[in-house]
Amino acid sequence: MTFKDAAAAIAAAGRRMDAMGWVPATAGNISVLLGADRMAITRSGRHKGMLAPADVMLVDGQGASLEPGARPSYETLLHCGIYRRFPGTGAVVHGHSVANTVLSRRAGAEIRLAGFELLKAFPGGPTHDTEVAVPVLDNDQDIPRLQAVLDALWNRTSDAPPGYIIRGHGVYVWGADMAAAMTRLEALEFMLLCHLEEGRHTR
């Protein structure tokens, strides 16, 4: 994929996420892997529903800008951590929906989703008759420290989660390409919203 193609895919994902209410104000970030040591990612402070090609930039595999003076998303290192940990990942999306924000503020170390038809959208979920645990991590403005917590979490399990949520902040989801990442995000957000509604009506 060329940088131009990656920027177009990122902008399209941003518009979709904005239309769904998942990236208010300048929230969220989106990236596409372009090679072993290069990725395209949204610049810091850009509204994801109004991205132009100039709002996407290049960074290396350690998250350092390849454009002098340009500043990538503050959470670029979390994207790097996903690409490093899950080979075959081609795109990462991060959003701030009402459902993932509210549920993560109430949750413990995970949110469990069971019996939903859309669990089939996740790898290893051939039917609805399964259960998935979505990890919830405490928010931390020290991104390298937060990435270290994630690395420790991944080292304790051989199962790859469908994504993870930073408490009161937002969700990270990934896939082989942007279409796969967005499919996973939409499925997860639907189930989280159902989970939120179920909680509201069972009180």
Q: Strand order of the sheet with strand 131-137?
A: 56-60, 38-42, 29-35, 91-95, 170-175, 163-166, 131-137, 110-114
Place of tokens 């403005």: 141
Distance CA 81, CA 154 (A): 11
Which positions ≥6 away from 19 have C-beta within 8 Å?
Answer: 49
Q: Of 35, 94, 52, 46, which is closest to residue 72 (Cα–Cα)?
A: 46
Distance CA 32, CA 152 (A): 24
Question: Is 201 part of any known ligand binding site?
Answer: no
Which stretches of the chain are assigned E, i.e. beta strand?
A: 29-35, 38-42, 56-60, 91-95, 110-114, 131-137, 163-166, 170-175
Q: Record the tokens describing residue 67, joined without a space.
A: 């454009």
Q: Of 161, 162, 167, which is closest to residue 101 (Cα–Cα)?
A: 167
Residue ranges for the known binding site are 94, 96
Residue ranges for the known binding site for Zn(2+) are 94, 96
